[in-house]
Structure 1
């Protein structure tokens, strides 16, 4: 079942066109990562979906209901957090939940949401005393009040400490397992790679690629990554052996083409360089994204 369907979305600000025939879909219980550089159009797409701005053409369907300028009923099943949640400093967390509850959620359900989002321990404190992580978690709790079938989250991990990021990641995975679909943008690609089922890459307001996570990552070159006691020396030895090696994050890497792994290991052993770990893997999300954007930018310049 498709929860969100965006088709041929176009948007202009004055004479400048910022979205060009954007199309993608999210099935029930799936997490879709919306990624791309700053100014690519990610926030505009999200704001258009939730009705904060209107498209010039195209269609948006949420849970089988068409969203139009004069019919916003489809948004009843959407929870939204775009940018940092706007909170009232003199209200507590629980007061915020009751304020934004439109009668759809019982007190017992509010208690359950507080437990799920891990805000119960500070829910009675005023928001002015909250850290950014607390504010983000309260923002997520507010989005869950209307029993959403779709969550739209714009950079929810920005500024969070590692523990808060971990907790938010676990929460989003649990919500997806419950059947809630999630559209999320984030510059923290390593974190996004841990939860996303699929990706839509946006550049210059256009969809560059829409693909499942495993297919998207397979577009990157497969790499051999070796940890040694001397990465710089290892890179010299590997390059001398005809491999295109470089040091990245204290590991030496080179493309895993043909018999490259065996060639590299033999060269390092013969050079008496101690090998502490070897792995062979696809390029990560960041590498795959950069490859796509570089290719797309070159097309734009032609």
Structure 2
């Protein structure tokens, strides 16, 4: 049984449609990265799942139970932190946890959650004195109180220092290994790429791609980057040799054919043109670059 099933979700704000037939699901114990530009609809999807906003049509099931306006029992299996965490500022972290605990979490379990999320050292200080990163960690601790099967986190790495980000990554992987499913959005795509098993890409309220992590990064042409002193001259030389060349900052890129011929032919063309080469490398596709190319292609379709 899937932990989360979202089917044909549509959402309007007045006459403006925000979500268009959004569908995806999450298997138990997996991490799904929900990615896309600001305003794409990521937070609206998350709010719809946890009942913070209504949707106009579609279907949401959590652990096999349908979620409706009058039937919200499935939310008992969900922990969430959407947008910025909002603890009671005049209470300490420990008091916030006790307040949000519905009685299902024992004192011992609460202590374990505090240690896992690394809030013990400031748990007895009032939340109004917390940095954004501290509030993020407290928010995640609160989301774990009801022993969730599904954890929904909107930008949980926001405001965290590098060590805290690393610790959060480790925690999320540990939770997924316990069987908890995680739906997470983040602008820190490099960090997300280290933990996500699957991706759903949202643009203009529509799902434009669903893929496992390995396939997402391996699709599309690979490139060879030539770092040169004169990019315009290098581009002209490569195009004269029959390549399609693109300038990115101080580099010129051509498509990689996955053997040595393209690189050797490119180097030969630049050398014959007297272009000074600083560095050459095969481009390893990363999540950010894959996403940008995908969004650019989709935006071009929208414009036509």
TM-score, normalized by the shorter chain, greater than 0.5: yes
CA offsets per residue over residues 26-53 of structure 1, 9 Å max, x none?
0011111111122111111111000011
Q: Distance in 1 between matches of 2:12 and 2:280?
A: 52
Query: For residues 75 and 263 of structure 1, what CA distance do their matches in structure 2 show?
Result: 59
Tell me how far 1:5 sits from its aligned partner: 0.3
Aligned to 1:160: 160
2:208 is matched with 208
Residue 219 of structure 1, CA deviation: 2.9
2:25 corresponds to which residue?
A: 25
Is structure 2 residue 286 aligned with structure 1 residue 289?
A: no
SS at match of 1:18: strand
Indicate the RMSD between aligned Cα atoms, in angstroms. 2.3
Aligned to 2:146: 146
Take 2:8 and 2:236, find their aligned partners in 1: how far apart are those partners?
Answer: 48
Of residues 218, 237, 242, the one that matches 1:240 is: 237
Could you tell me whether the CA contact under 8 Å between 1:176 and 1:182 is conserved in 2? yes
Equivalent residue number for residue 93 of structure 1: 93
Match of 2:187 in 1: 187
The separation in 1 between residues aligned to 2:178 and 2:10, in whole angstroms, is 32
Q: Following the alignment from structure 1 to structure 2, what is the Cα–Cα distance between the partners of residues 23 and 208? A: 11
Partner of 2:262: 260
- TM-score, with length taken from structure 2: 0.89
Q: Note the alpha carbon deviations across 1:80-117, whole angstroms, 9 max, x for none.
A: 10011111222111111111111111111111111111
Given that 2:151 and 2:183 are in contact with CA atoms closer than 8 Å, whether structure 1 keeps it comes out as yes
For the residues of structure 1 that align with 2:199 and 2:140, how far apart are their CA atoms?
Answer: 21
Consecutive aligned runs of 4 or more in structure 1 exceeding 3 Å deviation = 233-239, 245-248, 250-254, 264-280
Cα distance in 1, alignment partners of residues 256 and 56 from structure 2: 47
The structural deviation recorded for 1:147 is: 0.4
Give the CA deviation at 1:164. Answer: 2.2
Task: State how far apart, in whole Å, the 2-side matches of 1:198 and 1:86 are.
Answer: 28
Aligned in 2, Cα 1:12/1:265: closer, same or farther, shift over 3 Å? same
Return the alpha-carbon distance in structure 2 between the equivalents of residues 176 and 135 of structure 1: 22
The total of aligned residue pairs comes to 297
> 5+ residue gaps in structure 2?
none
The match for 2:169 is 169
- The TM-score, its normalising length taken from structure 1, stands at 0.89
SS at match of 2:88: coil
